[in-house]
Amino acid sequence: EVDDYDQWFKKELPGIDPMVTGLTFNDYRGRPYALPEYFHPTSWVGRSAIDFLTHYNLSDPFFLKVSFHRPHSPYDPPERWIDKYTQDKMPQPFQGGNWDRRYAVHYNGTPDPGIWCGDIGIEQVKKSRQAYYSSVSFVDEWIGEILDVLELRGLTNDTLVLFTADHGDMMGDH
């Protein structure tokens, strides 16, 4: 049990691994979430924020930190989002200069899913980008839902919304 989501998940689905999709943290691969969307950490975070905003009834100001687990890997959005992005529309990775030659590991077969460098091939980069873009869109959808609740509650004029990210992902660019 790492955080509140893990504790909630364990109560909702005892004995089921929340990483049932088969991807690991720092995994470069992507695939659709293996469970119903309701159990996805992005859905849980979004619902939790909306629940707080819907039921907050004090006159005092509030502070609400909404910290989505995704789009950090694993890239495991619901299939409905993956279906919106096609691999053939994914941009080619930018690979310029020779500065990264010392890290240009070429793999025979499938590289370890937790690698931090190396050439995983353009097709894999496109698959990873498809799942990453889908994960970003899934988070964006929930942010829209949260902002809608702020508007419905008449809180938009008195609420400061800050959006930050801890890091990006090179997605094959180097």
pLDDT tens track, the chain, 174 positions = 589 999 999 999 999 999 999 998 888 899 999 999 999 999 999 999 999 999 999 999 999 999 999 998 899 999 999 999 988 888 888 877 776 666 666 666 666 777 767 777 888 889 999 999 999 999 999 999 999 999 999 999 999 999 888 766 777 777
Residue type, 74: P
What pLDDT score was predicted for residue 119? Answer: 74
Helical H segments across 21-172, by residue range: 41-55, 79-82, 122-152
42 CB-near residues (< 8 Å, 6+ apart): 68, 69, 70, 77, 135, 138, 139, 142
The closest of 52, 80, 112, 136 to 144, measured between CA atoms, is 136
User: How far is residue 45's CA from residue 48's CA, in Å, rounded to a whole number?
Assistant: 5
Question: What pLDDT, on a 0 to 100 scale, did the predictor assign at position 84?
Answer: 94
Identify the pLDDT of residue 87: 84
